[in-house]
Amino acid sequence: MSRVLAVANQKGGVAKTTTVASIGAALSAEGKRVLVVDLDPQGCLTFSLGHDPDKLSVSVHEVLLGEAEIGDALLETADGVTLLPATIDLAGAEALLLMRPGREYALKRALAEIADDYDIVLLDCPPSLGVLTLNGLTAADELVVPLQCETLAHRGVGQLLRTVNEVQQITNPDLDLLGAIPTLYDSRTTHSRDVLADVSDRYDLPVLSPPVPRTVRFAEASASGATVLAGRKNKGAEAYRELAANLSRYWSGAELVTLEG
Ligand SMILES: Nc1ncnc2c1ncn2[C@@H]1O[C@H](COP(=O)(O)OP(=O)(O)OP(=O)(O)O)[C@@H](O)[C@H]1O
Ligand SMILES: [Mg+2]
């Protein structure tokens, strides 16, 4: 059975997609069978893994609506991970799903069909708390929340945690919130560190180690569709490899390494 990890935060631009692509590539390099799912109609994950959303005829949209088999939508990527891609059609799925009973379970049902083919499934949620993110949180075993360590970047965390709480009460009692992943981190400023300490105190949220520093390479990688962890030594890629190893050890029974402990 595969383990499903959702990466969600309704705030835009906090590195959800970068986190899914990078941790996915790192786990794949460790020898794991990895599936990544693009749940964002913008298709940024799809694009960053080398596929053009405009040229796809089958995507997660048709799978969620029951119009295609999940197996027919999967694509291979240069990073070694398998991709369930998104196209702009997914923007319409939101409205179409809303009219259906059991709308939060569409992704969970689709993933059940391929549960034995992957060790880990990573879900890239869109920047909203709509029905697509609810599908992600309902299908997931675990959740991590990327947080950008800047002023007020954590406004909205309370709202996200309330949504997680509702999901745990209604559609997915087993959902496990692992913690926050600090992204776009600038260790030279005490400000980044203060924001983190504040978030972990205020929301009683573990902060996973290590933080991911801001590096120029990520912008280059997402623009080129090249392998995210490839290229010369890069502190951001290094941090994601360590985070992936931290998660791997946790899944094998070890404690998660957090910044406090
Ligand atoms: N560690 C980093 N250093 C520098 N730039 C980064 C880093 N991580 C992400 N970025 C850049 O920040 C931008 C936003 O990242 P990303 O698309 O992963 O965020 P997101 O949370 O998925 O956004 P959205 O909410 O729109 O889906 C991108 O241009 C990405 O290349
Ligand atoms: Mg994104």
d(CA 5, CA 24): 11
Cα 211 to Cα 24, 53, 106, 245, distances in angstroms: 17, 31, 33, 14
Ligand 1 pocket test target in 22, 44, 90, 218 with most atoms within 8 Å of CB:
218
Q: If you average pLDDT over every residue of the chain, what do you get? A: 91
Peptide bond into 85 cis (omega under 30): no
> Tell me: the pLDDT tens digits for 214-255?
887 776 666 555 566 766 678 899 999 999 999 999 999 999
pLDDT at 55 over 70: yes
Tens digit of pLDDT for each residue in 168-218? Answer: 999 999 999 999 999 988 877 777 778 777 888 888 889 999 999 988 777
Within a 10 A sphere around the Cβ of 51, how many other Cβ atoms?
22
pTM recorded for the entire structure: 0.95
pLDDT for 1: 81
* Residues surrounding ion ligand 2 at CB below 5 Å: 16-17, 44
- Pairing of the two strands 120-124 and 176-183: unpaired
Q: Is the pLDDT of residue 20 over 80?
A: yes
pLDDT of res. 228: 67
Report the separation in Å between the CA atom of 17 and the middle of ligand 2, taken as the mean of its atom positions.
Answer: 4
Q: Which atom of ligand 1 is nearest to the CA of 146?
A: 21
Mutation probe of ligand 1 site: the residue of 16, 17, 18, 229 with most atoms within 8 A of C-beta: 18
What are the structural domains of the chain? 3-251 (3.40.50.300)
Residues 117-174 have pLDDT tens digits of 999 999 999 999 999 999 999 999 999 999 987 766 677 889 999 999 999 999 999 9
Range in 2-16, 18-32, 51-65, 141-155 the model is least confident about: 141-155
